Amino acid sequence: MTLNYYLDKPKSEEQTAIYLFLRTGKETIKLKTGQYIYPKHWNTKPDKNGYHVKRSYTGSPEFNGWLDNLMKEVHLLYNNLTQGNKSVALQELKEAVKNIFEKKAPAEEADLFEHFRKYIETNKSERAKGTVARYNVFLRHLEDFSSKYRYKVSFETINLHFFDLFKTYLVQDLKHTDNTLWVDFAALKTFMGWSFERGLHQNLTYKKFKAPQKDVEIIYLTENELMTLYQVELPLGSKLDKVRDVFCFGCFTGQRYSDIANLKRKDIKDERWTVRAVKTDNTHYVPLNSFALSILNKYQLALRPLPVMSNQKTNEYLKELGKLVGIDEPTSLTKRRGNEKLTNTQPKYEFISTHTARRTFITLSLEKGMRPEVVMRISGHSNYSTFKKYIKISEKVAEVEMNSIWQMPVAMKVVS
């Protein structure tokens, strides 16, 4: 009997399946290992160590080890079946080998994943829907990583070696940027902290995990762009008219879209909006300026205070609206993926979303001279480290601050 590994599509530029060929006499059994790899990482002929996966491939020792162990198991099985020069029927051999490939994942791996699902379910009522969705996506990434790299993920194996492998997987395979990577490991560290507090493990290595977090480039409307959008004439009651009003209300109040969608008439009293934030469950108060009150007045006879649509539809219509009113200045957003710089340049309207309204309020309020602590109180931010991520210090802010602080006294001015 001979055993050899072959790729399903050795010339493909995409990942392809790895097969194990078992030949005995004139018969060949083709076995799908369940593993995939890019052909560029594969040695068609094993190297001097007998390994197929190239050393340049991250996780190659584990991958090669798994392939080697599988081959040894099949060899051992065959030897046991043919012990004493006993012949074995091809179908019997197929069934016996098939059982090897149907082994279940180790119980310890299932335990961690099961606890992660319990963690998500337990905290579902206290988390925003977006946060719960991100946790579920992260868990899928962790499971896929475990399967692909044959890494037994357990509370004990969450170590620095795991960190290096998983980080490489997220960046190279899933193309996560630095900030997405930070979110990934923040989710893992939160779960590990939760499980540690409940006595599920004593492993504190996760606290050493550090992923880069870069300042987020933000998009906000200038005052001229906002007023152009606010004043443009649109067919009354049209989808763009409704989206414009809801978006501008956000620009004039600085609240999250989820809280605007949750607005009820009873929440407004004496030109002040009592906001119970959906994301944080904290309560704060928003004084309504004349622009915000004007928008609310427009819908005073409607069933709801504002004609809020779904976040997805609103984002779609906002781009259409931005293009219509000429918010089309070429705009570039840059992200980092390790040493790689990713720049995306498009007309500004392509970057407008519901969250742009909150950023617009914060930035324009600062430009107009409102103190940061006042802006924070209105926007509902409880700490400055979170708040500063939303600030876009424009050139105008710098000019206003410079001229107000360093202004020459009239007596010192030279008259020409």
Amino acid letter, residue 329: E
Q: 236: helix, coil or strand?
A: coil
Q: Rounded to an integer, what distance in angstroms lies between the CA atom of residue 216 and that of residue 335? A: 8
Q: Rounded to an integer, what distance in angstroms lies between the CA atom of residue 80 and that of residue 375? A: 76
| Superfamily covering domain 223-403 | Intergrase catalytic core (1.10.443.10)
Are the C-beta atoms of 366 and 391 separated by less than 8 Å? yes
- Please name every residue paired with 31 in a beta bridge, in sequence order, or none if there are none: 20
Nearest to 225 by CA among 367, 114, 99, 98: 367
Tokens 């004593």 -> residue: 202
Nearest to 194 by CA among 130, 126, 109: 126
- pTM beyond cutoff 0.85: no
Give the torsion through C-alpha atoms of 65, 68, 72, 75, to 10 deg: 170
Structure tokens at 58: 């991250």
- Please name every residue paired with 42 in a beta bridge, in sequence order, or none if there are none: 53
> Which region, left, alpha or beta, applies to residue 147 given φ > 0 means left and ψ of -120 to 50 means alpha?
alpha
Residue 340 pLDDT: 74
**Which DSSP letter does residue 304 get?**
S
> Residue ranges of the domains in the chain?
2-101, 107-208, 223-403
Are the C-beta atoms of 20 and 5 separated by less than 8 Å? yes
Amino acid letter, residue 240: L
State the DSSP H helix or E strand holding residue 17, giving kind and residue range, or none if neither. Answer: strand 16-24
Tokens 């046991």 -> residue: 80
Nearest to 193 by CA among 131, 119, 117: 119
- Please name every residue paired with 136 in a beta bridge, in sequence order, or none if there are none: none
Give burial (CB, 10 Å; 0-12/13-18/19+) of 160.
Answer: exposed
Q: Rounded to an integer, what distance in angstroms lies between the CA atom of residue 367 and that of residue 387? A: 15
CA distances from 178 to 29, 158, 170, 293, 332 (A): 45, 21, 10, 41, 18
Which stretches of 277-393 are assigned E, i.e. beta strand?
283-287, 330-337, 340-347
Structure tokens at 369: 């001279």
Residue 391 pLDDT: 63
Residue 166 pLDDT: 94
For the chain, 416 residues long, give each residue's pLDDT as a single digit of tens. Answer: 788 889 999 888 877 888 888 888 788 888 878 777 888 889 888 888 888 888 877 667 777 887 888 888 888 887 877 776 666 676 777 777 776 665 544 444 448 998 999 999 988 877 777 788 889 999 999 999 998 888 889 898 899 889 999 998 998 889 898 888 989 999 999 999 999 888 888 889 999 998 876 666 778 999 999 999 999 999 999 999 999 999 999 999 999 999 999 999 999 999 999 999 887 778 999 999 999 999 999 999 999 999 999 989 999 999 999 999 999 999 887 777 766 777 788 999 999 999 999 999 998 998 888 888 999 999 998 878 777 766 655 556 666 677 777 776 666 655 54
Nearest to 362 by CA among 352, 347, 372, 354: 372
- CATH 1.10.101 assigned to domain 107-208? The reply is no
Q: Rounded to an integer, what distance in angstroms lies between the CA atom of residue 302 and that of residue 314? A: 19
Task: Please state the φ and ψ torsions of residue 300, each to the nearest 5 degrees.
Answer: -65, -20
- Please name every residue paired with 28 in a beta bridge, in sequence order, or none if there are none: 23
Residue 260 pLDDT: 96
Rg (CA), the chain: 30
